[in-house]
A and B are shown apart, each in its own frame.
Chain A
Amino acid sequence: MPDLGKLCLAIALLLAIYSIFANIYGARRGRADFIVSARHALWAMCAMVTIAVITLWNGLLGSDFKLEYVASYSSTTLPTVYKFTALWGGQQGSLLFWTWLLSIFTSIAAFQNRRRNPDTAPYALAVMAGVAIFFLFMLNFVTRPFDLLSPVPAEGSDLNPLLQNYWMAIHPPSLYTGYVSSTVPFAFGAAALITGKLDDSWIRSTRRWAIVSWFFLTLGNIFGARWAYEVLGWGGYWAWDPVENAAFMPWLVMTAYLHSVMIQERKDMLKVWNLALIGLAFSLTLFGTFITRSGVISSVHSFTQSGLGPYFLAFLIAVVACYTALLIWRSPDLRSPAEFESYLSREAAFLFNNLVLVGIAFAVFWGTIFPVLSEWVRGVKITVGPPFFNRVNGPLALALIFLMGVGPLIAWRRTTADRLVRSFAAPVALGVAAGLIAVLCGIHEWYAVTGFSLAAFVLGTIVVEFRRGVSARRHMVSEPPARALVNLVAKNNRRYGGYIIHLGVLAAFVGIIGSSFFKMEVKKSVAVGDSFSIGSFTLKYLGLDEHENAHLEQATARLAVLNYGRQTTVMTPAKLFYKRQQQPATAVAIRSTPFADLYVVLAGLDDNGNRATFEVFLTPLVIWLWAGGCLMAIGTVVVMWPNVRERAALAVAVGRGRAEEYAGEAAPGGGR
C-alpha cells in the first residue's frame, strides 16, 4: 500500500508540471484542445493526491507501523477519531493534507472556469499548478509521508496528548482551508497581471473564494483560541505566540482585501492596492508555514527544526519577487481615473480601515520577527512579548471599531453635514450613555470605558441601518416587521450579512475587553475539606477520584462551588497522564455564564491527593468572544448565500462564455 501512495504523489507531480505547460501553450497559441487537456490533467492530479491521502488514512486506521508517519503519530490505543485526525497531526501528513486541499480547490476552479474567463483562467490555473508543484516536490523529495521503518515497531509513539482534543481535530483543517483557498484569488490576480486584463473581472470571479477563505481563517483562529483556552490551562486564549500570529496575519490582510475590493467594484479605484493585498495575503500564508516549520523563531510550542525552512523561504522569496515584478511591470496600466473626493465618504473610511488593518498586520509581523532581526543587527536576541502586541494593537483596534461604525453610515463620494447629524445622533448618544454607565459602574480603565462606549456606538449604527431598511420595506410593500427583516436580509445579503459579521466582531471585542481587563486569578494549595474563594464564588476541595485505562491515567478533583454562599455546582478539573508518550496534561473545568467564566485548573497534587493546588480564573464576558465568532460565521454564510439577482447576472455571463467555448470546441482537435 505505501508504494501506491508514493506512486500517486510522483504521478501527481508530473501531471502538475504538464498542466502548466499545456495551459500556457494553449493560451498563447489559442489552442483550446491544450487548455482542455490541462484541465483534465489537474483533475487527474486531484485524483492522485486523493488516493495518496486515502492510502495514508488507511495506514493510520489500520495501525500500519511500518509507515514511519503512522508509528510517529498514532498508536493502537489511540481513539479512532484521532487516528483519523492524525493525518494533520504531523509535518508530512499536514503537507499532504494541504496539497490535497490545493488540488481539490484547483479542480473546482478549473471546473468553474471551463467556460468563464477564457483569457485569464489558463494562466490562473497554471499559477495554482505552480504552487501545487512546490508542495508535491516537498512531498516527493523532502518530507515524504510514505517513508518506511525497519525494523517495524510493535507500537506507535502516539499523537501528542495536547492534540487529542476535538478543537484540535477541527482547527487545522479550517485554518488550512482558509490558507489554501486564498490561492485562488491570488492566482487570478496574478493571471490578470500576466495577461493585462486588469479590470475587476478577476475580483468578481473569485469573490466567493475570498469570502470562503476569510470564513475558514476566522473559524481557524477562533477554534485555535478556543483550543488554547480549554486545553493549555492557563486561563487565556491568545498569547501572541508566533504560531498564533502566523494564523492571524493572513486574516487581517484578507479582511482588508474584502473591504477594499468593494471600492474597486464601485469606484474603479485602488487597483494596485487590491492586487498587492491579495499577493500579501497569499505570501503571509507561506510565511506562516515558514516560521512554524523552520525553527527560526522560538515559540513556546517549539517546533523542531525540520529542514523545511530553507525550501519555504526560497519559495516565498520567489513568489514575492515574481509578483512584485509583475505589479511594477503593469503599474502604468493600473492608474485609475476616479479619485477620492472627501474625507466624509465611505471610500475614505474604507481606505483608513485598510491602513489600520494592514498596520496591525505589520505590527504583528514586526513583533514576530523582531528577535531574529535584533540578533542579526545587534547580535543580541531581544524578544517582545504580549505587552508589545497589546500596546500597539489596543489603540489600533479602537480606531478600527470606530471606522466600522462610521463606514456603513456615510455615503459614497461625500456626505453633507446635515445627513451626518441625522444618521449619527442616536448612535452617538448610545455610545456616550454606555460610557457613562461604565464609569458609574466603577470602571476606571480609560481603554475599557472607551471600548464599551465605541461598541455601543457601533451597535447603534447597525441598529439604525436595519431599522432604516425595515421601515423602507414596510412602506413599499407593507409587510409585517419580522417578514420585512427576513426579506431585507435575503434580498441584500451581501450588505446585511456584512452587518451581522460586524455584530460578531463587536461581541468578540467586548469579550476581549472583559477578559483582558477584569480577569481575577487565585492560586491556592488546599487540603481535602478546605475552601477558598474568588469573587463571589467559594470553592471547597471535596476529594480526588482516580481512574485508569489502557490509554491514560486520570486524577479528577471534586470541588463544590458556592456562589454567594449557595451551592451551585460541582466542578471536576483533572490531571491526565498519557502512558504512551509519558506526558501529563490538564483537563480544565469551565463553568460559563453570559457574565463570566469560572475556570478551574488542577495544577498539582501532593501528599497522595490529600493536598491539591488549584489555579482558578474568573474571566468576565469571555463567552462573548466565542459567541462573536459564531455570529461572524453566520454572517459570512448569509453573505455567501447565492441570491437571485446575482444568479441571473452569472447566467448571463456563463451564457456569453458558453458561446465562446463552443467556438473553441469546434476548432480542429478541440474537445476531448
Chain B
Amino acid sequence: MDTRIRPRFLIGSGLIVAAIGYLIISSIRSTSEYYLTVPEVSARAPELRGQSLRIAGRVKPGSIAWDPSTLTLKFAIYPIPPAANSPAANDPVRPVVIDEAPSFNIVSEGEPKPDMFAPNRDVIVEGKLERDGTIAATQVMTSCPSKYRPAGAK
C-alpha cells in the first residue's frame, strides 16, 4: 500500500521530466552567448570572431557619431573601471580615463539612439565581433540607474 504512484505513472512522469530536461539542455546550447567585458574580448578576440556576444563597457567620450537619417550610431567602448557599479558611474563629470586601454568600435544600424546614451555611460552591447575588429551591434542597452540606487547621485 506504500506505493502512491504506480510504475506506469512513474514512467509517464519520468517522460515528462526527461522532455523538459532535454528542452532546457538543447535550448541552452543553441541560445547561449558569452557575457564579457572589454578586456576579456580583447584577450580572446581571435576565437570569438563571428560569435554572438554581450559586452559590457563604457562609452568613450569623443567617439560618438550619430546619423539620424540612416539611424546609424557609431561609438567606441572602453573597460569599465573597477567599482563601476557605484552610482558615480552615472556622473557625467567624472574624469575620463585611459587611452591605452583596449577599446572596441561599435556600429549600430537601424536602431534609434537609446535615451540615456551619453559619453561615459555604461552600456551593454549585443552583437557580433567582425573580422576587422569592430562590433556590429544588434542592440545597445544603457544600463538604467537602479531603482534602488543609493543616495549620492548628484
Residues of A within 8 A of B153 (CB): 157, 581
Residues of A within 8 A of B56 (CB): 298
- Pair A382/B9 contact, Cβ less than 8 Å: no
- Pair A391/B20 contact, Cβ less than 8 Å: no
In this assembly, does B42 line the interface, its C-beta being within 8 Å of a C-beta of chain A?
A: no
In this assembly, does B144 line the interface, its C-beta being within 8 Å of a C-beta of chain A?
A: yes
Partner of A606, one of B36, B68, B116, B151: B68
Residues of A within 8 A of B54 (CB): 383
The interface bits of chain B over 111-154 (1 if a CB of A lies within 8 angstroms of the residue's CB, else 0) are 11101100000001000000000000000010111111111011
Task: Write the nearest CB–CB distance from A395 to chain B, whole angstroms.
Answer: 6
A337 to B2, CA, bound (A): 7
In this assembly, does A300 line the interface, its C-beta being within 8 Å of a C-beta of chain B?
A: yes
A303 to B147, CA, bound (A): 7
The interface bits of chain A over 436-458 (1 if a CB of B lies within 8 angstroms of the residue's CB, else 0) are 00000000000000000000000
In this assembly, does B28 line the interface, its C-beta being within 8 Å of a C-beta of chain A?
A: yes
A374 to B35, CA, bound (A): 10
Interface size counted on chain B using CB atoms at 8 A:
53
In this assembly, does A236 line the interface, its C-beta being within 8 Å of a C-beta of chain B?
A: no
Given A302-B85, A340-B6, A355-B17, are A585 and B115 neighbors across the interface (CB < 8 Å)? yes
- Pair A300/B31 contact, Cβ less than 8 Å: no
Residues of A within 8 A of B4 (CB): 269-270, 335-336, 338-340
- Pair A584/B115 contact, Cβ less than 8 Å: yes
In this assembly, does A160 line the interface, its C-beta being within 8 Å of a C-beta of chain B?
A: yes
Which residue of B is nearest A308, CB measured? B148
Mark out the residues of chain A between 156 and 186 whose CB falls within 8 Å of any chain B CB in the assembled complex.
157, 160, 162-163
Which residue of B is nearest A383, CB measured? B35
Which residue of B is nearest A156, CB measured? B151
A299 to B17, CA, bound (A): 29
**Which of A107-115, A127-135, A359-367 is near enough to bind chain B?**
A359-367
Partner of B141, one of A300, A355, A584: A300
In this assembly, does B87 line the interface, its C-beta being within 8 Å of a C-beta of chain A?
A: yes
A381 to B148, CA, bound (A): 24
In this assembly, does B82 line the interface, its C-beta being within 8 Å of a C-beta of chain A?
A: no
Task: Write the nearest CB–CB distance from B33 to chain A, whole angstroms.
Answer: 6
Partner of A611, one of B68, B148, B150: B68
Mark out the residues of chain A between 109 and 164 whose CB falls within 8 Å of any chain B CB in the assembled complex.
149, 157, 160, 162-163
Given A72-B151, A525-B69, are A295 and B85 neighbors across the interface (CB < 8 Å)? yes
Partner of B16, one of A233, A338, A359: A359
Task: Write the nearest CB–CB distance from A131 to chain B, whole angstroms.
Answer: 21
In this assembly, does A642 line the interface, its C-beta being within 8 Å of a C-beta of chain B?
A: no
Mark out the residues of chain A between 319 and 342 whose CB falls within 8 Å of any chain B CB in the assembled complex.
335-340
Which residue of B is nearest A524, CB measured? B71
Mark out the residues of chain B between 31 and 68 whose CB falls within 8 Å of any chain A CB in the assembled complex.
31-36, 54, 56, 68
- Pair B31/A385 contact, Cβ less than 8 Å: yes
- Pair B87/A383 contact, Cβ less than 8 Å: no
Partner of B150, one of A306, A337, A352, A371: A306
Residues of B within 8 A of A163 (CB): 147
Of B70, B124, B141, B146, the most chain A CB neighbours within 10 A belong to: B146
Partner of A362, one of B20, B110, B148: B20
Residues of A within 8 A of B111 (CB): 523
- Pair B23/A391 contact, Cβ less than 8 Å: yes
In this assembly, does B1 line the interface, its C-beta being within 8 Å of a C-beta of chain A?
A: yes
- Pair A388/B32 contact, Cβ less than 8 Å: yes
Given A392-B27, A604-B113, are A382 and B33 neighbors across the interface (CB < 8 Å)? yes
A391 to B113, CA, bound (A): 29
- Pair B150/A304 contact, Cβ less than 8 Å: yes
A90 to B145, CA, bound (A): 12
A362 to B25, CA, bound (A): 12
- Pair B112/A613 contact, Cβ less than 8 Å: yes
Residues of A within 8 A of B28 (CB): 366-367, 370, 384, 388
- Pair A525/B36 contact, Cβ less than 8 Å: no
Which residue of A is nearest B113, CB measured? A604
- Pair B9/A613 contact, Cβ less than 8 Å: no
Given A295-B85, A305-B85, are A348 and B112 neighbors across the interface (CB < 8 Å)? no
Which residue of B is nearest A160, CB measured? B147
Partner of A613, one of B27, B30, B68: B68
Residues of B within 8 A of A351 (CB): 9, 13
In this assembly, does A343 line the interface, its C-beta being within 8 Å of a C-beta of chain B?
A: yes
Partner of A381, one of B17, B36, B154: B36
A157 to B152, CA, bound (A): 8
Task: Write the nearest CB–CB distance from A206 to chain B, whole angstroms.
Answer: 23
Partner of A304, one of B13, B24, B35, B87: B87
A371 to B35, CA, bound (A): 8
A162 to B150, CA, bound (A): 16
Of A293, A304, A583, the most chain B CB neighbours within 10 A belong to: A304
Residues of A within 8 A of B (CB): 68, 71-72, 89-91, 94, 149, 157, 160, 162-163, 233, 269-270, 293, 295, 298, 300-306, 335-340, 343, 348, 351-352, 355-356, 359, 362-363, 366-367, 370-371, 374, 380-385, 387-388, 391-392, 395-396, 523, 525, 575, 581-586, 601, 603-604, 606-607, 611, 613, 615
23 A-B contacts (beta carbon < 8 Å): A163-B147, A270-B4, A298-B56, A300-B141, A306-B150, A338-B4, A348-B12, A351-B13, A355-B17, A356-B20, A359-B16, A363-B23, A363-B24, A380-B34, A388-B31, A388-B32, A391-B23, A523-B71, A523-B110, A583-B116, A583-B145, A603-B113, A607-B68
3 tightest A-B CB contacts, nearest first: A603-B112, A72-B151, A359-B20
7 additional contacts (CB under 8 A) given A359-B20, A525-B70 = A149-B151, A157-B153, A160-B147, A300-B144, A304-B87, A304-B150, A384-B28
